[in-house]
Amino acid sequence: MPAASAPEVLTADILAIAAHRDDVEQTCGGALLRMAARGLRTAILDLTQGEAGTRGSAEERAAEAAEAARILGVSWRQALDLPDGAVENSLENRIKIVKVIRQLRPRVMILPFWQARHPDHATTAPLGYDACFLAGLAKVDTGDPPHRPFKIIYASLYADVRPSFIVDITPFIEQRHAALMAYKSQYANQAAGSSLFVAEEEIRERTFAEARHYGLLAGVRYGEPFVQKEVGLVDDLTLMPVQSI
């Protein structure tokens, strides 16, 4: 009788971290779709359950997040238990993220931009960065070998900042929208929160307009913007994309 094989260890090439279920769909869902189409393994870590949301329940958002993940083609998605509306950059929370980073061992991390209207979003950026640093320290013992992502980028769709680069999401714009609209408890027309949420029929117009704006900056139809803190490196000046004039 053959020996039982060891359980497969799931890893990811790209891990997107967001405060809430549906944040990733809004800010970098198209990029995740594009990377998955290239054969890369993508993953999402939501930090909260969504229990403080004006609309829906944590249970509803969990089911919707699973459907959105299917549409986005991600290999792995989970949510932590950080309090919705009160995300803190504490050592305890950093360690929770460190465990995920060491499990999945991503090369690229996507974080929300560090300036945001919602405090949870603004806190998630330094929290995720600090966790990436700790994840590479061998003496921080979590039971898994240390791992530090090579690249950290920030999804800057809602930030008033010039992006470092744009990802062309033109072939995936409809799937991106479908992933967002999987959150029926949040975006379907309803009485709860009607003064805070735009009408369902306006969501497509607004999200497509934003993607069109960023696409035009890079000479494509639809795009998603990102910021990196470090400078870029060019190997061949004749192969640089985006026409100057």
Output the pLDDT for position 58: 82
Q: Is the pLDDT of residue 82 over 50?
A: yes
Edge-to-edge strand ranges of the sheet holding 14-18: 76-82, 42-48, 14-18, 108-112, 151-155, 223-227, 165-168
Percent share of the chain, pLDDT over 70: 91
Global pTM exceeds 0.85? yes
Does the structural domain 14-188+197-228 have CATH classification 3.40.50.10320?
yes
**pLDDT tens, position by position, 28-53:** 999 999 999 999 999 999 999 988 67
- Listed in order, strand segments (DSSP E) in the chain are 14-18, 42-48, 76-82, 108-112, 151-155, 165-168, 223-227
Q: Any idea where the domains of the chain sit in the sequence?
A: 14-188+197-228
CB 18 within 8 A of CB 47: yes
Confidence of residue 195 (pLDDT cuts 50, 70, 90): low
**pLDDT tens, position by position, 202-226:** 999 999 999 999 999 999 999 999 9
